[in-house]
Structure 1
Amino acid sequence: MFPTPVARTVAPVRIGYQVLLPIALAIWLLPLLMVALFSVKPDADFVTGNIWGPPSRFDLLANYGRVFTGSDMPRYLLNSFLVTVPTVIGAVALSCMTGFALAVYRFKGDIWIFFMFVAGNFVPFQILMVPVRDLTLELGLYDTRTGLVLFHIAFQTGFCTLFMRNFIRALPRELIEAARVEGVSEVRIFWYVVLPLMKPAIAALAVLIFTFIWNDYFWAIVLTQGADSQPVTAGITAFNSQFRAAYNMMSAGSIVAALPPVAMFFLMQKHFIAGLTLGAVK
């Protein structure tokens, strides 16, 4: 029913696994290594076609210095934080409440409401580009961080509700029933009984949503334009001019843009793994 662990397989399979795994890892890391290599090369290397070779000189400090001092990258990074952090807070807060309601209460049509939350995750977001853009224009939210935050909260709440609802349903229902017997109100049950038990799930979900929103590029270019509102994923393309592309600057900017979600994951790694694996052995 389940795959046999590699350690228990025959010797040829184990040897093949040990040989192929480093090769697959190298292939997967090759684009990332290439971007890191590009970020320390000078412009002349691209003119001469030195793509895979070693840099003619290391412009590490010059390239990364120009990212912060010779461009709008600091503003793009600030925009990303001003979009991502409120989105994470809003989506997680709403999903905690909706997940609690759908997991604890039984009422007519509850399964259909839950289905509506889940169904939104299966809609191809490309077909929503025009109506969402028109809606932001009508509401005066186009090219604003507020519009991008509200859009992301609306679209991420469905997935977050699915995550939280399933997590809360796995909690011992006797805790809630015991609190009700003691006369505790539903609001206090949610705040003092259920919410503290949801901390691992909240941490795991926060890391996931932070990564999703920070790395979003499609909606960043659809709903925003210019340095006043665009996040860093869209701002990296500002290094391109009409007749040339500064690939070394784009690579350096990409490395800088990737650092916050990586740091977020390592800071929350313990809680992230605990939230994803909680209940896995039941």
Structure 2
Amino acid sequence: MFPRPIQQASAPAQTAYKTLLPISLILWLLPLIAVAVFSIKPASDFTQGNYWGMPGSFELFNNYGQVFFNSDMPRYMLNSVLITVPTVIGAVALSAMAGFALGIYKFRSNIWVFFMFVAGNFVPFQILMVPVRDLTLDMGLYNTKTGLVLFHIAFQTGFCTLFMRNFIRALPFPLIEAARVEGVAEWRIFWFVVLPLMKPALAALAVLIFTFIWNDYFWAIVLTQGPDAQPVTAGITSFNAQYRAAYHLMSAGSIVAALPPVLMFFLMQKHFIAGLTLGAVK
């Protein structure tokens, strides 16, 4: 069976595995480690070229204090929350209903409608930059949190529907048939029968979409500008001046911005793993 457990490998293979694995993990985590180290260094270290050496002085409280109290970072964080949370709720709710319709009902255009949802995921988002920006300008949604929320819901619903439809099709159909025999309305079947069984999938999808939207940078700088509507990913660049980049503050801001998705994952870890692995083993 592949892959073979490392315990069954030869002694040289086990030694190489135990040696290379920590090195690989350090290389993988090196960018994050560098940002964490930069966030506690003073600005003078960067002007003097002290990128990887010991900090000239530990400025942990000073740097993070400036991020929280002497900048617009709290406002950018609030913008990210007001953009991400409605997007997750809207995309998951719409995809759950669309997935139920495509997974349960059999009609002539079912496969074509499903194909449209899937095909939308293969469109390179860069080519949509100009038309989407013009559309938000025409609708008066440019540089608004509402515009970003509506845009993200529209573009995330395709992937979410693909996820939900495949999950719902794996559910035992006799449960739905039994409810129909009892005369239960279709919306009650969805709400009281199907939706409780979808909790692992809903949790897994919510974590994924939360991470996607929170970490979005491309559309944040295309559709918004300034602290009124920009999320935290775009707001980090506000630490740059015209002739100088405050890398120590950008690093501290990046660490702060990365905490909510990490916290979200650990809070939903049990349901996230259950949603991804459900149905993998009979």
TM-score norm. by structure 2 comes to 0.98
Task: Give the CA deviation at 1:2.
Answer: 3.5
1:146-225 paired onto structure 2 within 5 Å: 146-225=146-225
Work out the CA distance in 2 between the residues paired with 1:275 and 1:212: 17
Give the alignment's TM-score, normalised by structure 1.
0.98
Separation in 1, partners of 2:109, 2:11: 55
Task: State the AA in 2 paired with 1:4.
Answer: R
Cα-to-partner distance string for 1:5-40 (whole Å, 9 max, x where unaligned)? 323333322222211111110001111001000000
Matched, 1:63 2:31: no
Partner residue, 2:142: 142
Alignment pair present for 1:48 and 2:48: yes
Question: Aligned-residue CA RMSD in angstroms?
Answer: 0.9
One-letter amino acid of the counterpart of residue 17, structure 2:
Y
Q: CA deviation at 1:104?
A: 0.2
Q: In the comparison of the two structures, how many residue pairs are matched?
A: 282
Q: Cα distance, 1:3 vs. partner?
A: 2.6
Q: State how far apart, in whole Å, the 1-side matches of 2:227 and 2:56 are.
A: 33
Deviation of the 1:247 alpha carbon:
0.1
- Per the alignment, in what secondary structure is the counterpart of residue 53 of structure 1? coil
Provide the residue aligned with 2:266 in structure 1.
266
Amino acid at match of 1:223: L
Superimposed CA distance per residue, residues 41-88 of structure 1 (whole angstroms, 9 cap, x where no aligned partner) = 011111111100010110000000000111100000000000000000
Distance 1:110 1:43 in 2: 59
SS of the residue aligned with 1:40?
A: coil
- 1:131 aligned partner: 131
Distance 1:166 1:17 in 2: 37
Q: Which residue of 2 aligns with 1:112?
A: 112
| 1:95-125 CA-partner distances (Å, limit 9, x unpaired) | 0000000000000010010010011111111
1:133 corresponds to which letter in structure 2?
Answer: R
User: For 1:180-211, what per-residue CA distance to the aligned partner results, in whole angstroms no more than 9, with x for missing partners?
Assistant: 11111111000000000000110010000000
Partner amino acid, structure 2, of 1:109 = S
Q: State yes or no: 1:252 paired with 2:252.
A: yes
Structure 1 CA distance for aligned equivalents of residues 7 and 242 of structure 2: 55
Query: Counterpart of 2:76?
Result: 76
Match of 2:16 in 1: 16
1:262-281 superposed Cα distances (whole Å, 9 cap, x missing partner): 00000111111111111110
Asked if 1:230 is matched to 2:237, the reply is no
Q: Which amino acid aligns with 1:68?
A: F
Task: Please list the CA deviations of residues 210-248 of structure 1 after superposition, one character each: whole Å capped at 9, or x if unmatched.
Answer: 000000000000000000000000000000011000000
Give the share of equivalent positions with the same residue, in percent: 78
Whole-Å Cα distance in 2 between the matches of residues 97 and 232 of structure 1? 31
| 1:95 correspondence with 2:95 | yes
Structure 2 letter corresponding to 1:60: L
In structure 2, C-alpha distance between the alignment counterparts of 1:224 and 1:190, rounded to whole Å: 37
126-135 vs 2-11, which deviates more? Answer: 2-11
SS in 1 for 2:90: helix
